[in-house]
Amino acid sequence: MAERITDTVLDDMTLALRARDGDADAFESLVRKYRNEVYALCFYFTRNREDAWDLAQDVFVKAWRALRRFRGDASFKTWLMRIAANHCKDHLKKRRLETTSYDDALQAVNADTGDTPSQAAASKELGAAIEAAVKQLPTKHQLTFILREYQGLSYQEMAEVMQCSVGTVMSRLFNARKRLQAALGPLLEQQ
């Protein structure tokens, strides 16, 4: 009986190359490692849990089918996130629907935080305002902001995901932050 691959035993590149050669266990390890990040990116685009899970599954199916074209020029994570971003954009273009303004992070504040009801309400209001402002950004700026602030990608990784230069990434991120600051300025002054 073959020994199961653990996520810590092999690095992404080795796992990707093994998966490309047909090793389903290697691909399963990559899925386990990145499923939450892919889901999070899909959720930021759709604002719907079920749609996000469906899209995330589609992303991994696409990745499995496209593995033979994975050259290793970028990290596996960057390659996978590019597939996810493109798939989400395609999905939204097809649907042309208004996304729901719901975010798990905006649910009731955990009782362990010690916030007073007024602090919890203010935090919830600020979180909703931030989400609404991010949603109003142009798609390219929204993706740039999400990849940097929510996914924690480096400028180089973002450039690879968005298939543009690092300078373009920096410009888009600057403009996204500037727009968010303008949109949220009055609310932040109240805090």
Task: Reply yes or no on whether the pLDDT at 29 is more than 90.
Answer: yes
Token readout for 34 is 């990145």
If asked whether residues 181 and 95 sit together in one domain, one would say no
Which residues does 83 contact at the CB level (< 8 Å), separation at least 6? 59, 62, 63, 66
Task: Reply yes or no on whether the pLDDT at 7 is more than 50.
Answer: no
If asked whether residues 117 and 190 sit together in one domain, one would say yes
Q: What is the four-CA torsion angle of 173, 177, 178, 184, rounded to 10 degrees?
A: 160
Distance CA(158)–CA(170), nearest Å, equals 10
Which residues does 138 contact at the CB level (< 8 Å), separation at least 6? none
The residue behind tokens 């007024």 is 118
> What are the pLDDT digits (tens) for 49-61?
888 999 999 999 9
Task: Reply yes or no on whether the pLDDT at 80 is more than 90.
Answer: yes
Mean pLDDT in residue range 10-34: 91
If asked whether residues 124 and 83 sit together in one domain, one would say no
Task: Reply yes or no on whether the pLDDT at 90 is more than 80.
Answer: yes
CATH code of the domain in which 41 resides = 1.10.1740.10
Distance CA(75)–CA(78), nearest Å, equals 5
